[in-house]
Amino acid sequence: MLSQESTPILDALKNYMHENTISFHVPGHKHGVGNPEFTEFIGKNAMNIDLTIMPDLDSIMHPTGVIKDAETLAAEAFGADRAFFLVNGTSSGIQAMIMAACREGDKILLPRNAHKSAISSIILSGAEPVYIRPEISKDYGIAMGITMSETSNVIRKNPGAKALFIINTTYYGVASPLLELAKLAHENNMAVLVDEAHGAHLAFHESLPHSAMEAEADLSASSTHKLAGSLTQSSMLFLKGERFSPEYVKSILNIFQTTSPSYILLASLDSARKNMALRGRELVARAVNLAQWARYKINHIRGLRCMGSEVLEFGRGLDLDPTKLCISVKELGITGYTAAKILREKYRIQVELSDYYNILAVVSIGDTKSTVSALVKALAAMAGDLGASKKIKPPHVPELPIPELALLPKEAFFSEKRPHDFKESYGRISGEMIMAYPPGIPIICPGEIITRDIINEVLMLKEAGGLVQGMQDRHLNYISVIK
Ligand SMILES: Cc1ncc(COP(=O)(O)O)c(C=O)c1O
């Protein structure tokens, strides 16, 4: 009998190990014997369960045994009809979702700040991206969620689009009005695809934004490794409803997945699912409480501000995952990059990311009062040291219209390109992507027409010390354009 108490993959691996089977299969380290130094460091158990496809361990390409059982339990625990284990990260799940929904020339609606795996799948599938402008917080200098009104406009202008792609939540924890967006997309016969790289924990506590499966999304890709306790690279793809057949989705996943999945990663997914199914609510509640305590404390430190309910002002239904601590340091007169460096070098604290205005600290099921107190203490000490420092003027946050698309990303990708003087490049078709920080969203993508406004804004941003990244010429004297 399958139950959430069981771990089918992990149990099969332990069985294999305890039977002392003599291995004449890959991996060639053969239980670590072939690589003693690494085995001694990482431990014999890890090497013993680093195994390969065989009848009792099932096959990820066509699961019928323990992998199928583990996926069935995961679907139940995360509220899906089907779950597929991924060992190439959520990136591979995003690629599969888009390939499942879009063929050559089909339109897909997606926020401008979508992850690069979405863009790579658009290149592969030949789909046409129609971007939705996310709300931008000028105060924090970051992209927030997409609103119902902006999305409805884009849907109205693109009636035949095949899919709506939603990020739940953004890296900074901002959720768009998922339930309403999913309903609207379905009413317009579009598939709902959700990037839940930062949302694996959402289904386990009612104080968090809704999960994709709660919103009846058709497919969602979830980084179990980021926030639900499995090992890095291990993720899950969830399916709900009838729009996509599980067999079709699986056949697409098999294009992207390795044929040699790591059983250590698969076992970690199995074990993380058990942990979340049995204790997820309690663990996530603890993380939420710790993060809310830290937010309160940080907001009482002079010069610091931790993002909270102001997110709600950006549109009806926008929400925040409180476990993400986006801390603005601009009032201290330093950039987020400098703050991250100080925290690491002086206080041995490594944050998840930094941008021009902020640092982002992630509180998760692995935190305790002592780790979160150490963060608050370090922030207070850093702010105290910097109190009297000279203030910097943060760069202005560009808010440009989305440029016109002249070539599909697939056509642009395969076209011949040449470098062109950036200042004189208006009217040309860009052959590359340029990211601007703040607000951390692409200012131009391959296939789009460069405008004078784009050139002016980018030059102003550079002048003010903002970051412009992604292009081949890192000084952006030249931009790659389509020949
Ligand atoms: C918004 C978003 N989507 C997708 C991904 C890709 O997830 P993974 O690293 O699991 O491939 C990331 C990774 O950071 C992300 O930030």
The pLDDT tens digits for 278-317 are: 999 999 999 999 999 999 999 999 999 999 988 888 888 8
197 CA from centroid of ligand 1 (Å): 5
Name the β-bridge partners of 236. Answer: 85, 222
Indicate the top mutation candidate among 84, 121, 176, 223 to test ligand 1's pocket, ranked by most ligand atoms within 8 A of CB: 223
At 338, the pLDDT band (50, 70, 90 cuts) reads: very high
Task: Calculate the average pLDDT of the chain.
Answer: 95
pLDDT score of 400: 83
Alpha carbon distance 342, 385 (integer Å) = 11
Which residues lie below 8 Å from residue 419, measured CB to CB, with a gap of 6+? Answer: 472, 473, 478, 479, 480, 481
First-to-last CA distance in the chain?
A: 62
Q: What is the mean pLDDT of residues 96-103?
A: 98
Q: What is the mean pLDDT of residues 241-269?
A: 97
Contact at 8 Å (CB) between 83 and 277? no
Ligand 1 and 121: CB distance under 6 A: no
Nearest CA to ligand 1 atom 4: 197
Q: Which residues of 87-116 are buried (b: 16+ CB within 10 A; e: fewer)?
A: bbbbbbbbbbbbbbbbeeebbbbbbbbbbe
At 49, the pLDDT band (50, 70, 90 cuts) reads: very high
More confident residue, 30 or 476: 30
Structure tokens at 357: 């205005």
Percentage of the chain lying above the pLDDT 70 cut: 99
Flag whether pLDDT at 470 surpasses 90.
no
pLDDT score of 388: 62
Could you give phi then psi for residue 24, rounded to 5 degrees?
-120, 45
- 146-160, 170-184, 436-450: which has the minimum mean pLDDT? 436-450
At 399, the pLDDT band (50, 70, 90 cuts) reads: confident
Structure tokens at 436: 């601007």
At 225, the pLDDT band (50, 70, 90 cuts) reads: very high
Q: Could you give the domains of the chain?
A: 8-277 (3.40.640.10), 283-386 (3.90.1150.10), 409-482 (3.90.105.10)
Flag whether pLDDT at 243 surpasses 90.
yes
Nearest of 159, 217, 145 to residue 183 by alpha carbon: 217
What angle do helix axes 336-347 and 369-386 make, rounded to 10 degrees? 120
pLDDT score of 398: 77
At 391, the pLDDT band (50, 70, 90 cuts) reads: low
Nearest CA to ligand 1 atom 13: 197
Name the β-bridge partners of 452. Answer: none
Nearest CA to ligand 1 atom 5: 197
pLDDT score of 390: 64
Between strands 128-132 and 107-111, the pairing is: parallel
Flag whether pLDDT at 463 surpasses 90.
no
